[in-house]
Chain A
């Protein structure tokens, strides 16, 4: 059960074998995705036809690599645009929320806190359709009343950003609150005592302290935005982010160019993930 308790050898080894098997299970799908990114064939399937990097750099059909495939490049650009907006908005609102929940006591705080957690337990598809339905009915009402067009409220990037923002903010709030809770209020009091203004103390003392959490939350927000599918699916218009583009291509039948994109995604996500962990760990 724990290292200090004697254990039959058979049990110990079968336990270890199970753990090993589990990690193989974890690694298997990602490994094959990476492997077939270098497959010299138009199908990411066996038999193995040889090694190539054409799916990254190729220019001749059918071997058009990621870096020359217009639709994928455009989708990556769209995803980055959405992710930047979502990360910026959700970190800003999350920081405000953290200050509100950690520093202030007010009536209905507990209720608002529960409400703030709700996006965690609402399925992404539902979140998507509810925003879709609401935005459309607002647009309908406004258009009937004013005879103007409100395209921003129709499926499109604005709704995608709002939809992702609506649940990612909960995560940023939790990450930043956790760090703010650890902040020793007497540091801010010391700054006030030394003649700083309230805002000056927050800016010079508290925000630098929060920085690791803010950056960490931003990275998490970018990751979640990049890989979000369910909410985005319901709100997407003509410009589709990467996951949606890949999904459409996948339904039509896949070529190893998708593996190449996936490989890049795996590398970037792993790097970003490690980065966010490092940032949240640094300075305790």
Chain B
């Protein structure tokens, strides 16, 4: 990266009375990219976003926008705009007045405000709605107005605080695509926080996974999904079957484990190799597991097992089977192939499952 980043955080920390909400977080967001912060509720992502917006002050660390430190700069003086969780459109103003609010604060002449408001509304695909009231808009239209209200100010960074959370599922799916398109259209840096991994995976150029006030991993969606840095990321991003057991052997990068139920499993170690005898956990994605009706003719060490169908959860292309191991009683979720094969499985049928150790990851169990 040669140009300065739009947003840069250096060892940013925020302490509240009795706990640390944000713990030495550092990252930078290059100009024009879509950056998501993904984490469960209470992980500190909202605090982080509000520090960037200026509604909360870091205990230590630095925060730079376009290379300028924002410490001590009020929220109304920062070149960032925020789309609030419930949008915070002003109900006492019509749409035109809402979008023009920021320009009025800057003392832009009236005629110019009108022109710029009209232009930005056209760009978000809602031309000519200036006279409407806020409560006359649909959920998706409100989203776009909220974005227009920020974008009309041409901020360096646009912050989005889970704005899709209140929408119903269908609209949320649609708005994901729309947000991504709007970001490309305006070519502005977006910082988006969410607890919904699919929102983050679909829209972002880069994602930071946040847990307990720290960033566990920063990377592209693919990196997070296929190369999770630790057990939390592996469990939080995407679905995975998780097993815990003792390491019995380490063979190159492949770790062999015996679970509490007595099943032997093999997976690739994600980080440093564990010691034999230590506790470890293994994550396998449901779609990495292959099914066959007869005992597969594959080499040993491919985690082959005979299993009984517990239930089949039909969900279109995302259908799952829950399989139980006869001897240990452990269950695993397996994605059914999209071809429609295996959809005829019945509860109680016997199937064989196997997966390649390369597609499973092992992490040490944190004490």
Contacts and interface: CB of A to CB of B under 8 A. Distances in A.
- Direct contact between the two chains A and B in their complex (CB within 8 A): yes
Interface of A: 4-6
B75 interface: yes
Interface string B17-53: 0000000000000000000000000000000001000
A67 B54 CA distance: 63
B74 A4 contact: no
Nearest to A4: B55
B340 to A, nearest CB: 45
Nearest to A2: B55
B59 interface: no
B338 interface: no
A155 to B, nearest CB: 50
B57 to A, nearest CB: 8
Given A5-B74, A6-B75, 8 more contacts: A4-B50, A4-B55, A4-B56, A5-B55, A5-B75, A6-B54, A6-B57, A6-B74
10 contacts: A4-B50, A4-B55, A4-B56, A5-B55, A5-B74, A5-B75, A6-B54, A6-B57, A6-B74, A6-B75
Nearest to B73: A6
Interface size class of B (residues with CB under 8 A): under 10
Interface in B74-104: 74-75
A241 to B, nearest CB: 46
Contacts of B75: 5-6
Contacts of B54: 6
B332 to A, nearest CB: 44
B318 to A, nearest CB: 37
A5 B75 CA distance: 8
Contacts of B56: 4
B257 to A, nearest CB: 48
Contacts of A4: 50, 55-56
Contacts of A5: 55, 74-75
A163 to B, nearest CB: 42
Nearest to A7: B74
A5 B54 CA distance: 8
B161 to A, nearest CB: 13
B77 to A, nearest CB: 10
Interface string B55-69: 111000000000000
B105 to A, nearest CB: 14
A6 B56 CA distance: 9
A13 to B, nearest CB: 19
Nearest to B74: A6
Give the 4 A-B residue pairs with the shortest CB-CB distance, closest first.
A4-B55, A6-B74, A4-B56, A5-B75
Contacts of A6: 54, 57, 74-75
Nearest to B75: A5
A6 B73 CA distance: 9
A142 to B, nearest CB: 57
Contacts of B55: 4-5
A6 B75 CA distance: 8
B213 to A, nearest CB: 19
A12 to B, nearest CB: 14
A5 B73 CA distance: 11
A183 B151 CA distance: 46
A4 B75 CA distance: 10
A280 to B, nearest CB: 29
A6 B54 CA distance: 9
Contacts of B50: 4
A5 B78 CA distance: 13
B86 to A, nearest CB: 16
A157 to B, nearest CB: 50
A265 B247 CA distance: 79
A5 B56 CA distance: 8
Nearest to B76: A5
B208 to A, nearest CB: 23
A4 B74 CA distance: 10
Nearest to B55: A4
A4 B54 CA distance: 9
A162 B55 CA distance: 57
